[in-house]
Amino acid sequence: MSATYEGGTGEDPGAAAARLTGRPVTALRPLSGALAEVVLDGGQVVMVKRGTDPGAARAEAAGLRWLAEAGTVRVPAVHGHDPHWLVTERVPAGRPSAEAAARFGRDLAALHAAGAPAFGAPPPGGPEDAYIGLAPMRNVPGADWPTWYADHRVLPYLRRAVDDGTMRPAEAAVVERVCERLPDLAGPAEPPARLHGDLWNGNVLWGADGHAWLIDPAAHGGHRETDLAMLHLFGCPHLDHLLDGYRQSAPLADGWPDRIGLHQLFPLLVHAVLFGRGYAEQALAAARAALAA
């Protein structure tokens, strides 16, 4: 077991959970090479995750706590972490419903409204050098969203995609034109929102309590339309009901559907860097659509 989970510590998830919670472990069920369910003495079940790199667990723990502090969307409690391991509450699984999606939309609007000190601001206690999935992500504060989004979200991954040969220089020029025109394309100015930051469907758990729960954040201060654009990118059950609930609580600026592709550039380029050419083509299509909007 330890060979599968090592990650520089020599521990398995059970040993890590016992050390970080101070409670004996009675059972362990591996779910993947980086994740396991662990039963603590007394019957409590926790999730134990090994960070992909030193610092990843710290960034995720800080993000979870920052989202939880808003008191809006449900977020698993953090029971312990160190540079390699993260122990969190387990969410009993339920099924998505239209009612739960509408409630999630209202709660997500309230989370965004909780705000952030600046665009790119990391969660309190979180590192500037954080992660989105398996990719590094720098949380560098900026004063205005268009400049910050271009400099710290789009262009770093675009350069990496070109360097890796995933995107051709002529194609990259289309994305660069989007960045140049961002002040005109971004819509009305918005205050920094408290973002989940990696809000695809796999990071939304539909709990047995009838609520949506958020896991695996790449939390930072950003534009609220970015979270909504990622939900559109990979799909989400009852998305129409979710958006109705959101807009009832916090109306979106006119023209927001035309800006979805603009906000999808960041996650698409991250996926191009991690997973290859298909996502580079999607990013190019999103850039062209943004320019044509």
Per-residue pLDDT tens for 218-227?
Answer: 999 999 999 9
Question: Which of the listed residues 62, 89, 116 is the one where a domain comes to its end?
Answer: 89
Which of these three, 89, 108, 138, is where a domain ends? 89
Q: How many independent structural domains does the chain possess?
A: 2
The whole-chain average pLDDT of the chain stands at 94
Query: What's phi and psi for 79, nearest 5 deg?
Result: -100, -10
Give the integer Cα–Cα distance in Å for 103 and 17.
Answer: 33
Sign of dihedral through CA atoms 272, 274, 276, 282?
negative
Same domain assignment for residues 119 and 11:
no
Greatest alpha-carbon span in the chain: 60
User: Any catalytic annotation for residue 198?
Assistant: yes
Q: How far is CA 93 from CA 72, 204, 206, in A?
A: 19, 11, 6
Indicate if 231 and 214 belong to the same structural domain: yes
The reply to whether 194 and 257 lie within a common domain is: yes
Question: Given 198, 209, 216, 254, which residue is catalytic?
Answer: 198
pLDDT digits (tens, 9 = 90+) for 134-145: 899 999 999 899
Its domain, for residue 59, covers 2-89
Query: CA–CA separation, 196 vs 286, rounded Å?
Result: 22
Whether 84 and 152 map to the same domain: the answer is no
Q: Assign residue 256 a region: left if phi > 0, alpha if psi is -120 to 50, beta otherwise?
A: alpha
Asked whether residue 70 falls in the same domain as residue 145, the answer is no
- Asked if residue 56 and residue 184 are part of one domain, the reply reads no
Which of 89, 116, 135 is at the close of a domain?
A: 89
Supply the CATH number for residue 56's domain. 3.30.200.20
What percent of the chain stands above pLDDT 90? 90
Residues 117 and 260 in one domain: yes
Burial (0-12, 13-18, 19+ Cβ within 10 Å), 202: exposed
Rounded Cα distance between 116 and 56, Å, is 21
Low-confidence residues of the chain: pLDDT under 50: 1-8
74 and 147 co-located in one domain = no
